[in-house]
A and B are shown apart, each in its own frame.
Chain A
Amino acid sequence: MTLFGGKKKKDKGLYLSDKPPLTVAGIIGIVTSYTILFAWVVAIVWPLFQMVVSAFNGQQQQYIMGNENFEFSLRHFEFLYNETYYLTWVKNTLFIAISTALLTIVMVSFTGYAYSRYRFKGRKASLMAIMLIQTIPTFAGITAFFTMHSIVSSVIPAFSRQMMLILIYAGPAIASNTFILKGYIDSVSTELDDAAKIDGCSNFDIYRIIIMPIARPMLTIIALWSFIGPFMDYLLAKVLLTSPSTYTLAVGLFTLVSDFRTMNQPAFAAGGLLTAIPIVIMFMVLQKQLVSGLTSGSVKG
Chain B
Amino acid sequence: MKVIMKNLGKKYEGRENFTLRNIDLEIDDQDFCVILGPSGCGKTTLLRMIAGLNSITEGDLYFDDRRVNTIPPKDRDIAMVFQSYALYPHMTVYDNMSFSLVMRKERKKIIDERVKEAAQLLQIEDYLYAKPADISGGQRQRVALGRAIVRKPSVFLMDEPLSNLDAKLREHMRVELVRLHKSLGTTSIYVTHDQTEAMTMATKIILLDGGKIQQVGKPEEFYNKPENIFVARFIGSPTINIIRGKYRDGKFVSETDTITLTPSKEDAELLKDYEGKGISIGIRPERFESGGEFGDTFEATIDVIEMLGKEKTLYARLKDGSDLVISTPGHYDYKEGETHTFGFDINAIHYFESETGERINR
Contact = CB atoms under 8 A, between A and B. Distances in A.
Top 7 A-B residue pairs of the complex, sorted by shortest distance between their CB atoms: A301-B137, A297-B133, A299-B84, A297-B132, A200-B103, A298-B89, A199-B100
A195 B103 contact: no
B82 A194 contact: yes
B79 A198 contact: yes
Chain B interface residue number, banded: 35 or more
A194 B86 contact: yes
B165 A191 contact: no
B134 interface: yes
A224 interface: no
Contacts of B87: 297-299
A192 interface: yes
Given A197-B74, A301-B138, A301-B165, 16 more contacts: A119-B13, A191-B84, A194-B51, A194-B53, A194-B86, A198-B100, A199-B147, A200-B103, A200-B104, A293-B133, A295-B89, A297-B134, A298-B85, A298-B133, A299-B87, A301-B136
Contacts of B137: 300-301
B30 interface: no
Chain A interface residue number, banded: 20 to 34
Nearest to A201: B103
A210 B88 contact: yes
A200 to B, nearest CB: 4
A235 B340 CA distance: 92
Contact of A301 (B51, B147, B164): B164
Nearest to B137: A301
Contacts of A191: 82-84, 86
A214 B89 contact: yes
Interface of B: 13, 48, 51-53, 72-74, 78-80, 82-90, 99-100, 103-104, 131-138, 140-141, 147, 164-165
Contacts of A301: 85, 136-138, 140-141, 164-165
Contacts of A300: 84-85, 137, 164
Contacts of B135: 297
Given A194-B53, A198-B78, A198-B79, A298 B100 contact: no
Contacts of A192: 86, 88
Nearest to A213: B90
Contact of A200 (B53, B74, B132): B74
Nearest to A296: B133
A298 B73 contact: no
A192 B86 CA distance: 5
